Structure 1
């Protein structure tokens, strides 16, 4: 049982991928990180020695601190964060316990370089429909909550990527983050970010079906296609559409994770008296 000011891996994994997930801060020393250079989904590495510098800039009112085994290092950082008004807990057992539990972890090598503000920056084609909303949702919920997305004319994607140090995705060019064979970009990201959990694989099938006109892949694919096309008609601003799409994919993810066995019927069957 977790003690006061600790959160168990079992409880934390239920928060990751949801809008209410706290800021996840990895404070492992370099030697421990080099032994397993992966991160909890959505977490960011911070230097525990500089906590007084970055704590004041943390854009969250709650946090979970992760060290190697969940001992004094993470407890000290969490205590400092609480001095800045941030409700901070420690991951019980640290990254070691997370790994032993078989929970997903993102290879640090798969995460693009961050900008001066610590954000990953991505660029893709304007007027998104499915993949170009689904992928940003995945990145913000499981890779980098502060990620920035640039939507530009298709002919300008590669130039903008070069000039602004942005990572291109979902374009018709030989880049890492795009369609591969029958897989759409969302599939590729789920796999390469180490996020192949049952709920995300289920969601990936739905996204692939909607994005590649193979609506027979999942019964939910036509619904996602319809909702996505509807959003694209509702919003002329791509970033406004992305914000609306975040809620859409939050709902699809929670269905994939928690509600696939639930049905709904009206009127409800009458009971025999």
Structure 2
């Protein structure tokens, strides 16, 4: 049973990818990190003796992660609590998460972080499906503080180069369509995000984004909602914020509610 202020990997795996996910801080030593240079989805590297700097960012909640859940993560969580941050540590640490076969992100796949520790991603303006789905995936599973830039199609690559970002969903870049796969599919594969709910969501996104609505019954609904949002918002970032909620709902349905059915009540009152 986890100690007080500890969180089990089973519980954390249910929180990651949702809007209420806490800040994840990987406080492993450089030696431990070099042995397995991967991060939990959404986690960032941090110095366990510099938690006051983290607290200054005013996160509502945080979870610290060291190799096995001992002094580094427990101490860092305690310091954060002393600074007024609701903090827990991952019981069993990185090793327990890895042993359970849960997803890990290869940071080498990501663009470099800016001075505030954020990754930058650049795509075409006026998004519809893939260009909302991918930012949702990035912010929920890769970098919650990621900066998403929407620019003219001809300027995507140049802006990405100028600001050390990653261009996506344009031709002739790494993060883009490949054969019958859309950019969302490619990001899942390249980042190693293999989760049943994300696999289901990927089929829906692919169907909506590539005019193959037969791939999933829900694809037509996603396409309709996406086109509606694109007409409701003239500002791409406002549309993205609205779209985040849409994809949150589809993800939770794919994870928790696929078997649930809804119909008009049939329990009519007796007349005898």
TM-score by length of 2: 0.97
Moved over 4 A (4+): 269-273
The separation in 1 between residues aligned to 2:20 and 2:108, in whole angstroms, is: 26
Q: Distance in 1 between matches of 2:161 and 2:111?
A: 13
Q: Which residue of 2 aligns with 1:228?
A: 226
CA distance in 2, matches of 1:100, 1:46: 22
Displacement of 1:268 in angstroms is: 2.7
1:246 maps to which residue? 244
SS at match of 1:224: helix
Q: Tell me the residue number matched to 1:3.
A: 3
1:109 aligns with 2:93: no
Counterparts in 2 of 1:113-152, with a 5 A limit?
113-152=112-151
User: Would you say 1:68 and 2:79 are equivalent positions?
Assistant: no
Kept in 2, the 8 Å contact 1:55–1:84? The answer is no
Q: Is the 8 A contact 2:111 2:164 kept in 1?
A: no
Distance 2:269 2:36 in 1: 57
Q: Deviations over 1:199-246 (max 9, x none)?
A: 001000000000000000000000000000000000000000000000
Residues 22-61 of structure 1 show CA distances to partners (whole Å, capped at 9, x for unaligned) of 1100000111111111111111101123223x22333411
Distance in structure 2 (CA, Å) of the matches to 1:35 and 1:58 = 29
Offset, 1:109? 1.2
C-alpha contact (below 8 Å) 2:130/2:184 kept by paired residues: yes
Give yes or no for contact 1:6–1:91 (8 Å, CA) kept in 2. Answer: yes
Aligned ranges 1:120-199 → 2 under 5 Å: 120-172=119-171, 174-199=172-197
SS of structure 2 residue aligned to 1:106: coil
**Aligned-residue RMSD, C-alpha:** 1.2
Say which SS state the counterpart of residue 118 (structure 1) adopts.
coil
Secondary structure (helix, strand or coil) at the match of 2:148 reads strand
In structure 1, stretches of 5+ residues that fail to align are: none
Aligned-partner Cα distance in 2 for 1:31–1:120: 24
Q: Distance in 2 between matches of 1:51 and 1:178?
A: 37
Q: Give the distance between the partners of 1:166 and 1:195, measured in 2 at CA.
A: 21
Equivalent residues of 2:198, 2:251 under 8 A apart = yes
Q: Closer, same or farther in 2 for the Cα pair 1:213/1:79, shift >3 Å?
A: same
Question: Partners in 2 of 1:108 and 1:16 — Cα distance?
Answer: 17
Q: Are residues 1:43 and 2:43 paired?
A: yes
SS at match of 1:123: strand
Give yes or no for contact 2:188–2:194 (8 Å, CA) kept in 1: yes
Aligned counterparts, 1:15-94, within 5 A: 15-52=15-52, 54-94=53-93
Provide the rounded CA distance (Å) in 1 between the counterparts of 2:45 and 2:87: 16
- CA offsets 1:61-87 (integer angstroms, 9 cap, x no match): 111000000001111111110111001
Q: 2: CA distance between counterparts of 1:102 and 1:61?
A: 28
Count of equivalent residues: 271
Whether the 8 Å contact between 1:131 and 1:207 is mirrored in structure 2 is yes
How far apart are 1:123 and its partner, in Å? 0.5
